[in-house]
Structure formats: structure tokens, C-alpha cells
Structure 1
């Protein structure tokens, strides 16, 4: 009987470990998407101020940071970028100070 209880306890610990690993992966993807969106927004705002192709620069910077560009909106001098990694999507806005 102790073997059955031990196996049940081990299965519970493994299940808990998998849940923790899954949650950590989601948090990591969110943080990576946040960084990619922030960097892409700053680069895009700089490109916009210089008269360059804003969304192309944003897409390039997002790609270099492991994200896909899923949105690029220019409103006046501000640029709002949405970056996606996996199922996590994060938006960031940048403009002149």
C-alpha cells in the first residue's frame, strides 16, 4: 500500500511542477513581448521623427527581439506598437519628449 501512496504523491508533485513551469513560460513570454514592444516603439518614434518608414523599423526591431509586429499606429508624433510572442500581445507607445 505505501507504494500506491508514494506513486500518487509523486504524480501530484509532477503535476504541480508542470503547472509552475507553464505559468513561468507565460510570464516569460509576456516580459519578452513587453521588451520587444517597448524597444520597437522607441525605434519607430525615432524613425518617424527622421521621416523614415516607421512601421518597417518597428517590425525589424520587434523581429530582432523574437517578436512579431501585430500592430503599428502613428498618431501625430506618437507611435503605438503591438508586439506578439506566442499568444501574448503587448502594446507600447513612444513619441517625442
Structure 2
């Protein structure tokens, strides 16, 4: 009987570990997406202020940060960038100070 209880405890512990690892991966993806979106938006706003294509710059910067850009828009001097990392999507806006 103790063997069955130990097997049940082990299965429960493994299941809990998998849930924790999955949640940590999602938090990590969100943080990576947030950083990529922020950096891409700032780079895009700087490029846009110089007369360059801010969205093209944002796409390059997002890619270098492990993200894929799913949206970009320019409104006046502000640039809004949306990126995704492992299914987590984040939007960031930057413009002149």
C-alpha cells in the first residue's frame, strides 16, 4: 500500500511542477515581449523623427529581441508598436519628449 501512496504523491508533485514551469514560461514571455515592444517603439520614434521609416526600424529591433512585430502605427510624432513572443502580445507607444 505505501508504494501506491508514494506513486500518487510523485504524480501530484510532477503535475504541480509542470504547472509552475508553464506559468513561469508565460511570465518570462510577457516580460520579453514588454522589453522588445518598448525598445522597438523607442527606436521607431527616433527613426521617425529623423524622417526614416519607423515601422521598418521597429520590425528589425523587435526581431533582434526575439519578438515578431504584429502591428505598427504612426500618429503624429508617436509610434505604436505591437509585438509577440511565444503567444504573448504587448503594445508600446513612444514619441518625442
TM-score w.r.t. length of structure 2? 0.99
Unpaired segments ≥5 residues, structure 2: none
Count of matched residue positions in the alignment of Structure 1 and Structure 2: 97
Cα distance in 2 for residues equivalent to 1:92 and 1:12: 40
Partner-residue secondary structure (3-state), 1:9: helix
Partner of 1:48: 48
Deviation at 1:53, TM superposition (A): 1.0
1:33 aligns with 2:33: yes
- CA RMSD of superposed structures (Å): 0.4
CA distance in structure 2 between the aligned counterparts of 1:84 and 1:22, rounded to whole angstroms: 17
Matching residue of 1:15? 15
Which 5+ residue runs of structure 1 have no aligned equivalent? none
CA distance in 2, matches of 1:69, 1:45: 15
CA deviations over 1:32-77 (Å, ceiling 9, x no partner):
0000000000000000000011111000000000000100010000
Equivalent residue for 2:61?
61
